[in-house]
Amino acid sequence: MKTIAFFDTKPYDRESFSRLADENLNIRFFENKLNADTVSMAACCDGVCAFVNDSIDKTVIDKLEEYGVGVVALRCAGYNNVDLKHANGKIRILRVPAYSPYAVAEHTMGLILTLNRKLHRSYIRTRDHNFSLEGLTGFDLKDKTVGIIGTGKIGCVFADICKGFGMNILGFDPYPNENFKGEYVDLDTLLASSDIISLHCPLTKKNTHLINRETIEKMKKGVYIINTSRGRLVSTEALIEGIKTGKVGAAGLDVYEEETTLFFEDYSEEVLLDDKLSTLISMPNVIVTSHQAFLTREALDAIAKTTLQNLTDYFSGKELINEVVVNR
Ligand code: NAI
């Protein structure tokens, strides 16, 4: 029997993992996020299961090694929260490369439709018995151009959805994908030609703040910027400035660069101390969701199945097909 320290547990994780885990894994569910202050909770465990806002940095890795924990199973696709170089040779890092690209792609289109047709505002209005249409005009998506940055699994499904709306589809990706049903262009062309720009690439050191003052400057006036990928791909300061000047027409954000201590938690009784997030939330043409794009029943089951299989393969010495290795 192997014991797994499961960090940042939410009720929906507990449900799917408890239902799908076999008798060889004993899962200890902790609500705390994994970081230097909480890593001691993993002492006496054989493995760790972590999520997007857990921090697997040098200190955490060294501590886990000291406790004899040999594996961190990420229950997500992205691994920008892991110091991979430091983990190399100390701890095996496993992930879930794909669970439901549909969940994220459909949420992306949900953000676009809500922003464009102002559904978030109509919902509030009609509850207040205000049936006026003033200020609710949107535009047809048909024949508009969407620029997709990152045309992997999610980017391709999102392109298919956009195709269904009759949109023109542009893509930028250093590694073109044969499944992508759009036209590949260079980044500057995509920025200059798109009515809507949607991010679907992983966060790396190189593309941090890919959306910044200079790249926003190259975009069409009134562009919609949608980020369901990772917060730090977008400079929040530059985005706020772009929205204030009217260069950016709307923003749909499922991720935020300073989300780590906020997202997934209920702070509704407290004053929000993050001024940039407060500004974004106050804008009528911005929608922030708290990293929920993945959250469908199908995705939760797929995440649990793959994570549990990754751990079982590790403990039984099998090949680790979902291992993240340095310098890919
Ligand atoms: P994927 O690995 O299938 O595709 C990523 C694509 O991005 C690849 O084709 C890659 O070549 C491309 N890429 C890498 N660097 C790039 C750059 N600088 N510019 C343009 N393209 C670049 O990954 P998948 O499954 O499509 O996921 C994409 C991202 O979505 C993940 O890395 C993760 O950050 C995010 N995500 C967000 C979720 C949410 O709940 N909001 C859930 C799951 C993933």
Asked whether 55 lines ligand 1 (CB < 6 A), one says: no
User: What is the CATH T-level fold of the domain 101-288, as seen in this structure?
Assistant: Rossmann fold (3.40.50)
Asked whether 144 lines ligand 1 (CB < 6 A), one says: no
Q: Among 92, 200, 230, 232, which one carries the catalytic annotation?
A: 230
Mutate to test the pocket of ligand 1, among 99, 154, 207, 307 (most ligand atoms within 8 A of CB): 154
Q: Pick one of 3.60.21.10, 3.40.50.720, 3.30.70.1560, 3.40.1390.20 as the CATH number of 2-99+297-316.
A: 3.40.50.720
Q: What tokens were used for 74?
A: 């990420």
pLDDT of res. 327: 65
Q: What is the DSSP letter of 282?
A: H
What does the domain layout of the chain look like in residue ranges?
A: 2-99+297-316, 101-288
Output the pTM of the full model: 0.93
Domain pair 2-99+297-316 / 101-288, same fold: yes
Query: b/e string for 239-248 if b means 16 or more Cβ within 10 A?
Result: bbebbeeebb
Catalytic, 217? Answer no
Catalytic, 107? Answer no
Sheet with strand 168-172: strands edge to edge = 183-184, 168-172, 145-149, 196-199, 223-227, 248-253, 286-288
Mutate to test the pocket of ligand 1, among 80, 200, 203, 209 (most ligand atoms within 8 A of CB): 200
C-alpha–C-alpha distance, residues 74 and 151, integer Å: 23
C-alpha–C-alpha distance, residues 171 and 227, integer Å: 15
Asked whether 180 lines ligand 1 (CB < 6 A), one says: no
Q: In what helix (H) or strand (E) does residue 276 lie, and over which residues does it extend? A: helix 275-282
Q: Yes or no: say if 107 and 200 are a contact pair by the CB < 8 Å rule.
A: no
Asked whether 220 lines ligand 1 (CB < 6 A), one says: no
CA of 273 to the centre of ligand 1 (A): 30
Catalytic, 209? Answer no
Q: Yes or no: say if 167 and 198 are a contact pair by the CB < 8 Å rule.
A: no
pLDDT tens for each residue of 191-217: 999 999 999 999 999 999 999 999 999
> pLDDT-based confidence at 31, cuts 50/70/90?
very high
Asked whether 294 lines ligand 1 (CB < 6 A), one says: yes
Mutate to test the pocket of ligand 1, among 10, 173, 189 (most ligand atoms within 8 A of CB): 173
Q: How many other CB atoms are there within 10 angstroms of residue 204's CB atom?
A: 12
| Mean pLDDT score of the chain | 96
Asked whether 38 lines ligand 1 (CB < 6 A), one says: no
pLDDT tens for each residue of 252-308: 999 999 998 899 999 999 999 999 999 999 999 999 999 999 999 999 999 999 999
pLDDT tens for each residue of 142-167: 999 999 999 999 999 999 999 999 99
